[in-house]
Structure 1
Amino acid sequence: MTQTPPRPAAGSPAPRPVPTSTDVARLAGVSRATVSYVLNNTSAVRISEPTRRRVREAAEELGYVPHAAARSLRAGRTRIVLLPTAHVPVGPLYGHFLNELQWALRRLDYTVVQYASMGLDGDEAARAWAELRPVAVVSFGAVELTPQGVDVLKRSGAQAVITLGPQPVEGAHSLPVDQRRVGRCAGVHLVERGYRRIGVVLPEEPGPELFSGPRLEGVRHAVAGTGADVVPLPLARTEEAAGALAARWPGLGLDAVFAYDDEYAVLLLRALLDAGASVPGDTAVMGAGDLLLGRLMRPRLSTVRIDMEAGQHLAELVDRVVADPDRTPENRDLMAARAIHREST
């Protein structure tokens, strides 16, 4: 049985018609093809600047925007670059990198879509992402892609599948971002300065284990064979939790601590000082990220400086792989790390 759509209530305004490219062409006094060339930033056709300005002004006046799905049907593929996201707190360093990447992709005429992937495993996530028919996927490692997942994405039309993480994935362009290097830098720095019982602060909140687990592994690797001990220290990101840890610090027998990042390091450093501990006399404290916050502390915070490659470079790689999916995978490291010694160690 066919149902008749409900009529608008008496006195309610009729729905406004959706403006079309024909309406824009009529108002601007140009052809529909010219409207398409201008609004899709087509460079293959030469159009004068006054005409471009007239088309844009007409589109703005009418409230017209191009239909992405229709453009994709004409082109045979979308311009969507999918950035899967998960429950990982993004600090200033990664926040800057992601913002730069998204701006660069937009300048290259891609549509950036962030996909919430919490609770999805590798192959399940790949199938969910494939439903959007992205032309490229840039996975930051929160979801472990498999070769089967990469194949699903490519069969759905993805020209580029790029992963950032410690392990390469068959079929994808894998760029190393090895968080173990951060922990190794901290471990080497502390051992070289004579510390032998080292605590490692791990966030209790869900999400950071993507980074914190490898950083702990890196510290353990750095101190292997030196006689130093490594003690994991789960810590919630609250003053109360830091105060409770500082209160039982004397019983832990630690002479140094490396925190997941500078914010956790400052949180614990402040609590230790408030509890009457001497830093670095009783305990050395080290963070990661080289935030301004750590440089403003007294004593100034030793840290691991992390240098990420510019997001612009990754966006350009996406564009190159989309244009040539069979190109030889690039294998350059996106991250470098080095210890910065200050007063707290």
Structure 2
Amino acid sequence: MRYVMVQIPKSTTPALPAPRSVPTSADVARLAGVSRATVSYVLNNTSAVRISEPTRRRVHQAAKELGYVPHAAARSLRAGHSRMVLMPAPAVQAGPLYSQFLNDLQWALGRLDYTVVQYGSVGLCDDEAARAWAELRPVAVLVPGVELGPAGVAVLKRSGARAVVTLGSEPVEGAHALLMDHEGVGRVAGAHLHARGRRRVGVVVPEEPGLESLSRLRLAGVRDALAGTDAVVTELPLAYEEEAAARLAARWRELGLDAVFTYNDEYGMLLMRALQDEGVRIPQETAVIGADDLMLGRLLRPRLSTVHIELPSGRDLAELVDRAVREPGAAPETHQVLGSSVVHRESS
């Protein structure tokens, strides 16, 4: 039998480095010179066991040096629940005021060792949305607007959510509720314009999808403030576009309005610029008032009058979530929030 030796040329492709093993809590314990239990206590912020500050620093330094990150799923199994707080993304782009509120809330929840996850659920509502959220097994869900009903709350709680908090104009059975009084925003704006001697009041109703429920409540508030007076309220549908504002401004004198509540400051700035371009004098011919008290409104000339809205602090809401998680059997709480007050400036 003959054997043929074949020489295989060396590959010119550089060898890939061997994959590094994933660091474990045992590795952290060895490097820090402590037990695995101590590592767990430190990295999970366990308050039941007292750990000295030098030991905590050693553990954190070792974890950083090794690139160790605790396994969220394993931590959830040990605790019996996750530390995830799910926040469905708003159906429409959040304004600066609401965005700042969300930032404060996420920071406060992070300080309490929760992880905040925003879920893009555009097109989903109530039961369908609740089932999608429940798949992630959050320990708490914060739902803005009117996107959830009692059946959806039940779905979330059956999946393990210990706290469901809604932010809207009406409470939802089974959920903690933060009631946002949007009618009150329109009410104080309408009362302000009437007190300034205005009697033909327009109210902007945004045409953007998702804003109708809030804008209708603010319109109702203006109507309520002016009910029984000699004032007349005119509804003004308006898209958030320069062309739409220009078309409305072009027929302003035909409408015969001497005041307008613009839903918020962004629409106020849009419409006020269009009215000025049309030669309408503000406030001599038309008084303008917005809402949200944005910094940009103070930079306009004339400065924009506005309704200052007092949202709950992120810290207060985070503490409500934490309390509900720790006491899942407690009765749902209802809190009235969203205080409103007029900031009078030159535009009205």
One-letter amino acid matched to 1:71: R
Q: Which moved more, 1:33-42 or 1:206-215?
A: 206-215
Q: Aligned partner of 2:130: which letter?
A: A
Question: Which of these residues, 260, 266, 275, is aligned with residue 269 of structure 2?
Answer: 266
2:285 to 270, 273, 282: 282
Structure 1 contact 89–207 (Cα < 8 Å) conserved: no
Matched, 1:172 2:175: yes
Identity %: 68
Tell me which of 135, 140, 147 is aligned to 2:144. 140
1:335 is aligned to 2:338: yes
Residues 188-227 of structure 1: per-residue CA shift (max 9 Å, x gap): 2222333232222233333333432321222222223334
Question: Which amino acid in 1 is paired with 2:97?
Answer: L
Give the superposition deviation at 1:317.
0.9
For residue 304 of structure 1, give the secondary structure of its aligned residue in structure 2. strand
Between the two proteins, the alignment pairs up a number of residues equal to 336
Counterpart of 1:257 in structure 2 is 260
Give SS of 1:257's match: strand
- For the pair 1:199 / 2:199, whether they are aligned, the reply is no
Q: Does the CA contact (< 8 Å) of 2:90 and 2:144 recur in 1?
A: no
Would you say 1:160 and 2:153 are equivalent positions?
Answer: no
Is 1:65 aligned to 2:84, yes or no?
no
AA paired with 2:163? A
Query: Given the two structures, how large is their TM-score scaled by the length of structure 1?
Result: 0.91
Q: Displaced runs of 4+ in structure 1, greater than 6 A?
A: none
Amino acid at match of 2:27: D
Q: Distance in 2 between matches of 1:175 and 1:287?
A: 23
Give the direction of change, closer, same or farther, for the CA distance of 1:54–1:339 in structure 2 (3 Å limit).
same
- 5+ residue gaps, structure 2, are 1-12
Which residue of structure 2 lines up, in the alignment, with residue 99 of structure 1? Answer: 103
Counterpart for residue 188 of structure 1: 191
Q: CA RMSD in A?
A: 1.9
Residue ranges of structure 1 left out of the alignment (5+ in a row): 1-8
CA separation in 1, counterparts of 2:123 and 2:342?
35
8 Å contact kept, 1:130–1:156:
yes
Partner SS state of residue 99, structure 2: helix
Within a 5 Å distance, the mapping from 1:33-112 to structure 2 comes to: 33-112=37-116
Match of 2:31 among 24, 27, 31: 27
SS of aligned partner of 2:246 = helix
Is the partner of 1:176 in helix, strand or coil? strand
The one-letter amino acid of 1:107's match is R
Structure 2 distance, partners of 1:174, 1:238, is: 34
Q: What do the CA deviations read for 1:47-88 (whole angstroms, capped 9, x no partner)?
A: 222222121111111111000111001111111111111222
- Structure with higher Rg: it is 2
Give me the whole-angstrom Cα distance separating, in 2, the residues matched to 1:14 and 1:189. Answer: 72
Cα distance, 1:38 vs structure 2: 1.1
Report the secondary structure of 2:334's partner residue: coil
2:207 touches 2:239 (CA, 8 Å); kept in 1?
Answer: yes
What is the deviation of 1:325? Answer: 2.1
- For residues 270-321 of structure 1, the C-alpha deviation after alignment (integer angstroms, 9 at most, x for no partner) is 2212221111221111111122222232222221111112110111111111
Query: Is 1:305 matched up with 2:308?
Result: yes
SS at match of 1:19: coil
In the alignment, the residues of structure 2 paired with residue 28 and residue 325 of structure 1 have an alpha-carbon distance, to the nearest angstrom, of 37
Secondary structure, in 3 states, of the residue corresponding to 1:231? strand
- Given that 1:24 and 1:59 are in contact with CA atoms closer than 8 Å, whether structure 2 keeps it comes out as yes
